[in-house]
Amino acid sequence: MYREWIVKLTDRARFSTICLHAGQEPDPSTGAIITPIYQTSTYVQDELGKHKGFEYGRTQNPTRLALENNIAAIEAGKAAFAFASGMAAIGAIATMLKSGDHVVVSDNTYGGTFRLFDKVLSRYQLSFTYVNTSDLAATERAMTPATRMLFVETPTNPVMGLTDLRCAASLAHARDARLVVDNTFASPYNQRPIEFGADLVTHSTTKYLNGHSDSIGGVVIAVRDEDIEWLRFVQNAEGAILSPFDSWLVLRGTKTLPLRMQQHNANGLAIAEFLSTHKKVQKVFYPGLPSHPQHELAKKQMRGFGGMIAFELGSLEAARRVLNGVRLHSLAESLGGVETLISHPATMTHASVPADRRAALGITDGMVRISAGVEDIEDLLDDLAQALDAV
């Protein structure tokens, strides 16, 4: 089955070819080269007990299926399941747990993930330990006989801490636990966790996979048959599916993922280098800089260093001047779109994280985050330079 849907691809197909073609073939009834938006709730059956593989829109949809097969191939998985948001995808992963189970989680995980675990799932006799997963010894110490999942984000948002994926997979597997990687920040162009031993990968497709800031969605990619069977069941049972239109948008987005990521990576690195020599900037967080404490690990497990950069200006007032002074950078939450966004983690994305926890994670009031888009780099640097002049 794994190969069937790679249609015209040979076993040797490379990444950009996979992004463009996997999961898709010309529409059998018209030859349309682009998978249509199958905006339908049900499917007419040929006769009682005989149908074309599609019965009801929550259970199966051809546009969604094309996207799921496309992303499964992109992430080197066996199957993928698309959900209505990144959080719905993480919620589906959580249904693999049973009461009494324990999960070890990157302490700097996305705030929405922390909220789901801490405020919702902890009501169901599930327990969570938050640990700096960059520190493998601490991660191992956090594991208990009840640990069934190690849930990591790498790089983390916004301080760009990395977790060694191969070591994390070994730690999890030694305890019969799954390694789950939220790969939203890196994108599969830069990092493919399954190749390092991850069992499950998840994305907010809202970010790099769709890439155009016009859709909310999520996906889970799996490799083990039992996980695939369960996720297929849960996607239908809970029903938090990605719509046909959003599936189509993301499928359009993945066609240009490699091209966009090359530009995001180039712009990210150029912005990080510019900021690291600017006298008003105290510190830059970017895994592509040799000064990043885990630069060697980044080179080992990432193909590019991404478009996300954080930097420290020393005070809320300095951060405010830059955030209010930029013209081309848009002040907004989210990331991974073609246009460059700038944000203030302490009061925006991480406002729900208690102040003491923020301080422990290194998220200060003077920190600014950039999601580098694909504009001409000179224009982005000019804009940053004029905003920094006001500090």
Ligand X SMILES: Cc1ncc(COP(=O)(O)O)c(C=O)c1O
To 10 degrees, what angle do helices 257-276 and 377-389 make? 30
Q: Of the residues 164, 182, 199, 383, which is catalytic?
A: 182
In 3D space, the residue among 76, 77, 302 whose CA is nearest the CA of residue 185 turns out to be 302
Q: Site residues (CB under 6 A) for ligand X?
A: 85-87, 110, 112, 153, 157, 182, 184-185, 204, 206, 216, 218
Minimal distance in Å, beta carbon 334 to ligand X?
6
Please give the residue whose beta carbon sits closest to ligand X in the complex. 86
Is 207 an active-site residue? yes
User: To the nearest whole angstrom, how small is the minimum distance from the Cβ of residue 86 to ligand X?
Assistant: 2
Q: How far apart are CA 31 and CA 37, in angstroms?
A: 14
Taking the complex as a whole, the smallest distance from the CB of residue 212 to ligand X amounts, in Å, to: 14
Q: Which position among 38, 110, 189, 286 bears the catalytic label?
A: 110
Nearer residue to ligand X within complex by CB, 6 or 222: 222
- Element counts in the chain: helices (H) and strands (E): 13, 12
| CB closer to ligand X out of 38 and 114 | 114
What is the nearest approach in angstroms of ligand X to the Cβ of residue 219? 10
Question: Six-digit token pair at 252?
Answer: 């359009």
β-strand pairing of 330-331 with 147-153: unpaired
Q: Which is nearer to ligand X, 103 or 388 (CB)?
A: 103
Catalytic choice (148, 178, 207, 369) = 207
Q: How far is CA 303 from CA 6, 76, 120, 274, 300, in A?
A: 23, 15, 36, 21, 8
CA atoms within 13 A on the CB side of 315: 5
Residue 306: closest CA among 292, 318, 321, 320: 292
- From the list 287, 286, 285, the residue with the least C-alpha distance to 301 is 287
Q: Is 327 a catalytic residue?
A: no
**Is 130 one of the annotated active-site residues of the chain?**
no
Catalytic residue among 27, 58, 115, 175: 58
Using the minimum distance from each CB to ligand X, give the nearer residue, 85 or 294.
85
User: d(Cα 151, Cα 107) in Å, to the nearest integer?
Assistant: 10
Q: DSSP state, 50?
A: B
Please say which residue, 156 or 267, places its beta carbon nearer to ligand X.
156
Tell me the closest approach of the beta carbon of residue 21 to ligand X, in angstroms: 26
Cα 229–chain centre separation? 23
Active site residue 182: yes
Q: Which residues are catalytic?
A: 58, 110, 182, 207
